[in-house]
């Protein structure tokens, strides 16, 4: 009842603000500190050392949308007549005028969800940070929300899922993160206000058109799947207060927006980020340890604004095509974001190659393992985590705590950067990726095993750095030193007859001035 009464007050306050040129900032509380809403202030951001050292995180996505086992964007597409998910919904649950998303929420019961075990599997797989989706575009908060009555505590499953996940992450000594996809919900969910255009239910409004449920489905608005271009101030304020509540209650080390800075015309997105940075700094004695991951889309695309250097750039289902000066992150999934029956998963080899390439370019990988609606992961996902852990136990030394080398790699296989570009790559023994620890330790990952058991690293040609000296070469997972010859055309290494792992292998090269003159 408290949440409901507050929602009425919030809506009235927002309505009063509607049409104003600038929000009433007294209603947007913000932690004071060195960051403010100007780009100049936010440009003082630096990605925290823990994030740069961690390299690999695993992400849990669960919620009512996983119940039908039909994959991504179910809450939107179940109201799109003729779509695959609409057809499934009508066949399985009934017409969305009679059984809507609110009714699917009532069936949300992840009774086998054991975050302690799950996060333990993440850690065994080599993850250094654990992330949970806190709210998707479906407008359903997975925490004990102070400002919204559609949450996982007030509604089924009557559990604080974010709080449980945070407790497990801290127990396993992993950094804790949350992702928020809320800003575009106001426009994304407008399909719920429609009606069939054909057939026996033609013209009968879906349940989202019922004013009783506007706190879930939103008031009517010009429909779009992107950030709403001109939403009422009441929505901007609700977004701000809900995400701020998530930050203040659960103190995440990492946050993520599914897009750029939202609502930038009123500086609302920037104000929220400044609050996050300042609040995090207070908890860490003045040092900001927040990893704020935001996506960069072309200006005017409808996905928010972005400025380099104010946050960690996140690339969805893609990666950078070259070495970057600033740390960044790829977020992707072994299958779909939400659990889907019959979907084909990425293999351990594919993810290993992806991770190596990303880290060599100064990036991190956040990998989603989608949860079954009962809260479990399937046998194939568990086998994937086991295989990932076996590889990381041998080769993690060459990824964790490293920094980029002078070049990210060499070889014929290249990658086109950007969102949603995950073309399958076939690597060769000539494809090598580098990481470094100072100027005395270099790690060279080769993606395929050469037929001759000899590997040549052309980036270490003597002619390129006459002051450099290689003093030893070993392979991670192999105890003995390897025979090598440092020639004018490269470093030639004789590999062992037995391979210490599968998928990709790392040479640990020690020496002097391995970054070249002046290093």
From its phi and psi, is residue 445 left (phi > 0), alpha (psi between -120 and 50) or beta?
beta
Helices (H), 361-464: 379-395
Of 369, 439, 353, 354, the C-alpha closest to 404 is: 439
Please state, in angstroms and rounded to a whole number, the distance separating the CA atoms of residues 181 and 519: 43
pLDDT of residue 16: 37
Please state, in angstroms and rounded to a whole number, the distance separating the CA atoms of residues 465 and 483: 21
Kindly calculate the radius of gyration of the chain based on its CA atoms and give it in whole angstroms. 25
The CA-CA-CA angle for residues 199, 200, 204, to 5°, reads: 100
- Give CB contacts under 8 A, 24+ apart, made by 148-152: 148/3, 148/7, 148/215, 148/238, 148/242, 149/3, 149/4, 149/7, 149/215, 150/105, 150/215, 150/216, 152/108
Tokens at 472, concatenated: 């030893």
Sheet holding 469-475, edge to edge: 409-410, 432-437, 441-446, 505-512, 469-475
Please state, in angstroms and rounded to a whole number, the distance separating the CA atoms of residues 61 and 73: 13
Spatial contact of 291 and 51, defined as CB atoms under 8 Å apart: yes
**N residues, the chain:** 519
pLDDT of residue 162: 98
pLDDT of residue 9: 40
Spatial contact of 348 and 391, defined as CB atoms under 8 Å apart: yes
Please state, in angstroms and rounded to a whole number, the distance separating the CA atoms of residues 38 and 272: 12
Please state, in angstroms and rounded to a whole number, the distance separating the CA atoms of residues 212 and 186: 16
pLDDT of residue 11: 46
The list of the chain residues with pLDDT below 70 reads 1-21, 416-421, 463-467, 516-519
Strands 254-257 and 312-316, bridge-based pairing? unpaired
Please state, in angstroms and rounded to a whole number, the distance separating the CA atoms of residues 402 and 441: 10
Please state, in angstroms and rounded to a whole number, the distance separating the CA atoms of residues 260 and 269: 9
b/e string for 439-454 if b means 16 or more Cβ within 10 A? bebbbbbbbbeeeeee
Show the domains of the chain with their CATH numbers: 2-398 (3.20.20.80), 409-512 (2.60.40.1180)
Run of H or E including 87: helix 84-92
Please state, in angstroms and rounded to a whole number, the distance separating the CA atoms of residues 79 and 101: 9
pLDDT of residue 10: 47
Positive or negative torsion for Cα 373, 375, 376, 381:
positive
From its phi and psi, is residue 177 left (phi > 0), alpha (psi between -120 and 50) or beta?
beta
pLDDT of residue 519: 43
The CA-CA-CA angle for residues 28, 32, 34, to 5°, reads: 125
Tokens at 270, concatenated: 């920037």
């Amino acid at each position: 009842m408290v949440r409901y009464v507050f929602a009425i007050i919030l809506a009235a306050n927002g309505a009063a603000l509607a049409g104003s040129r600038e929000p009433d900032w007294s209603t947007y509380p913000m932690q004071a500190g060195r960051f403010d809403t100007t780009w100049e202030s936010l440009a003082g951001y630096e990605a925290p050392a823990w994030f740069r050292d961690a390299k690999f995180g695993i992400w849990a996505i669960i919620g009512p949308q996983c119940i039908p086992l039909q994959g991504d964007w179910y809450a939107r597409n179940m109201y799109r007549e003729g779509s695959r998910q609409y057809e499934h919904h009508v066949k399985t649950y009934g017409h969305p005028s009679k059984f809507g998303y609110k009714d699917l929420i009532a069936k949300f019961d992840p009774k086998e969800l054991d975050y302690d075990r799950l996060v333990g599997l993440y850690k065994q797989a080599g993850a250094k940070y654990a992330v949970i989706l806190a709210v998707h575009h479906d407008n359903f908060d997975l925490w004990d929300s102070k400002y919204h009555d559609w949450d996982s505590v007030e509604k089924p499953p009557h559990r604080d899922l974010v709080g449980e996940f945070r407790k497990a992450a801290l127990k396993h000594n992993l950094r804790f993160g949350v992702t928020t996809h809320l800003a575009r919900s106001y426009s994304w969910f407008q399909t719920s206000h429609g009606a069939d255009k054909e057939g026996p239910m033609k013209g009968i409004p879906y349940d989202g058109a019922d004013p009783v449920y506007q706190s879930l489905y939103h008031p009517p608005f010009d429909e779009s799947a992107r950030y709403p271009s001109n939403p009422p101030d009441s929505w901007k304020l609700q977004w701000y207060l809900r995400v701020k509540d998530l930050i203040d209650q659960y103190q995440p080390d990492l946050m993520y927006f599914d897009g750029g800075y939202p609502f930038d015309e009123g500086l609302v997105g920037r104000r929220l980020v400044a609050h996050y940075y300042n609040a995090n700094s207070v908890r860490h004695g003045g040092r900001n340890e927040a990893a704020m991951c935001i996506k960069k889309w072309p200006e005017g695309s409808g996905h928010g604004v972005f400025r380099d250097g104010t946050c960690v750039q996140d690339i969805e289902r893609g990666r950078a095509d070259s070495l970057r000066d600033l740390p960044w992150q790829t977020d992707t999934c072994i299958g779909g974001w939400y659990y889907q029956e019959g979907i084909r998963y990425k293999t351990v080899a594919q993810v290993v190659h992806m991770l190596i390439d990303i880290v060599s370019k100064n990036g991190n990988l956040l990998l989603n393992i989608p949860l079954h609606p009962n809260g479990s992961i399937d046998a194939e996902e568990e086998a994937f985590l086991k295989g990932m852990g076996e590889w990381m136990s041998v080769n993690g030394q060459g990824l964790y705590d490293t920094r980029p080398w002078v070049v990210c790699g060499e070889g014929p296989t290249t990658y086109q950067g950007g969102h949603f570009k995950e073309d399958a790559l076939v690597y060769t023994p000539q494809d090598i990726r580098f990481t470094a620890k100072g100027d005395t330790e270099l790690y060279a990952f080769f993606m395929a095993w050469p037929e001759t058991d000899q590997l040549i690293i052309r980036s270490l040609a003597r002619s390129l750095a006459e002051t450099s000296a290689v003093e030893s070469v070993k392979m991670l997972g192999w105890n003995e030193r390897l025979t090598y010859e440092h020639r004018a055309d490269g470093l030639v290494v004789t590999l062992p007859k037995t391979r210490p792992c599968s998928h990709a292998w790392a040479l640990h090269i020690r020496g002097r001035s391995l970054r070249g003159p002046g290093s």
